[in-house]
Chains A and B, each alone.
Chain A
């Protein structure tokens, strides 16, 4: 499991792209629900080149010291089968109005039978701000 708290140094919130084992082929699929307090939608992305999680990182214009809170569950990460996963994250801007906070739940699949030995988390734009944090649980010596 990965737990992260992420803020972007750029002026806009941005998506987080998750990849495993350095794989950039079309093996990532996801189904998610997304809501911002005034509207909600669901969507499915299949055969993508990465697991893209919308608006995971709080933008630099948001209330100081607020971060997007993110969890990724990757059970059976060593099993020689495709890897189901779940993610859950929220973005809270400590402000009122639509678009100031989000919640997203996602079920996904990574179609690789190789054991996962590497996870990369990349923002689509900007860079992670100081104070962003990342924790990895559930593996030997983590």
Chain B
């Protein structure tokens, strides 16, 4: 199966070329996507962890319990 193609436009000459991606370029695109997905998953996990800490800190404040260090750091960075 042929690789995807890219459209290359030369704005100086007006030349437009449709060029099949090399195997290396396809691999690079897939690696880029995987790296970004991993980074986004990490960001999402961090955001969820922070939200959980906030909810825990809020519940403890309401019930008069002591906060742990991570919960306190949310209130006083």
Contact = CB atoms under 8 A, between A and B. Distances in A.
A124 B33 contact: yes
B11 A17 contact: no
B65 to A, nearest CB: 29
Given A136-B11, A139-B11, A142-B11, A122 B36 contact: no
Contacts of A141: 11-12
A139 B11 CA distance: 9
Question: Interface size for chain A: under 10, 10 to 19, 20 to 34, or 35 or more residues?
Answer: 10 to 19
A68 interface: no
Interface in B21-63: 28-29, 32-33, 35-36, 39-40, 43, 47
Interface string A98-142: 000000000000000000000010101101000000001001011
Given A24-B28, A41-B47, A43-B43, A124 B36 contact: yes
A124 B11 contact: no
Interface of B: 4, 6, 9, 11-12, 28-29, 32-33, 35-36, 39-40, 43, 47
Among all A-B residue pairs, the 4 with the closest Cβ atoms: A124-B33, A142-B11, A52-B36, A127-B4
Nearest to B4: A127
Nearest to B13: A141
Contacts of B32: 17, 49-50, 122, 124
A84 B29 CA distance: 25
A121 B33 CA distance: 14
A60 interface: no
Contacts of B43: 43
A82 interface: no
